Amino acid sequence: MIVIVMGVTGSGKTTIGKMLAEELGWGFYEGDEFHPAGNVDRMKKGIPLNDNDRTPWLNTIRKLIMKCIKEKENAIITCSALKESYRNLLMTDDKEIKLVYLKGDFNVIQKRLKNKNRKNHFMNPNLLKSQFDALEEPKNALEVDISKKPKIIAESIKSELTLLLCA
């Protein structure tokens, strides 16, 4: 199974994704690591990405997903996946891929970005508004409220995934 952990910047994708992967003994892939250098430069400068900027990045993640499925590797992959068209590109197999949406309020995430020491992260916190503007909330995802502590969020997701795996 592949689990895509999605949400806007600062929603906790990396933190929750790593916890889940560790708890489940699965592979973990940080979607941000697949951005082309030009995208990283734009985001560092506070320039929002557009669909043309995101397409090569999303295609790379899609190839990773297909590779994991082919090799029967269970994996957690983080990706903002803000728009339905992006998710449609990534969701190549509804049986093998599950989507987890980390949902949070703008003010909560903005405060988190200001207070959080995000080491080595290139995303300019000023891009949060553009991410919310682009966000098309998913209809077919496990939606998780990010106001709880990460450990509780990860345990909740793990319980839901365990139910899916046993079904």
In a domain, 112, yes or no: no
Task: Answer yes or no: is 111 within a domain.
Answer: no
Cα→Cα distances 106→4, 58, 86, 129, 147, Å: 21, 24, 21, 8, 12
Residue 140 to residue 71: CA distance in whole angstroms? 25
All residues at 6 or more sequence positions from 145 whose CB lies less than 8 Å from its CB, including other chains: 103, 104
Residue type, 108: V
List, for residues 64-104, the tens digit of each pLDDT value: 999 999 999 999 999 999 999 999 999 988 889 999 999 99
Provide the pLDDT confidence category of residue 167 given band limits of 50, 70 and 90: low
- pLDDT at residue 116 in the model: 56
Query: What token pair was written down for 153?
Result: 């969020």
Is 11 part of a structural domain of the chain? yes
* 15-32 pLDDT per residue, tens: 999 999 999 999 999 998
Question: For the domain that residue 23 is a member of, what is the CATH number?
Answer: 3.40.50.300
Contacts of 50 (CB under 8 A, 6+ apart): none
Token pair for 53: 């900027």
Domain count, the chain: 1
Residue 38: left (phi > 0), alpha (psi -120 to 50), or beta? alpha
pLDDT of residue 117: 55
Q: What is the pLDDT of residues 98-114, one digit of tens each?
A: 999 999 999 988 887 77
Contact 21, 76 (CB under 8 A): yes
- The domain containing residue 71 runs over which residues? 2-106+117-166
Q: Using the predicted structure, report yes or no on whether residue 56 has a pLDDT greater than 80.
A: yes
Q: How far is CA 138 from CA 12, 14, 50, 63, 87, in A?
A: 17, 19, 19, 22, 8
pLDDT at residue 39 above 80?
yes
Amino acid identity at 43: M
The answer to whether residue 91 is domain-embedded is: yes
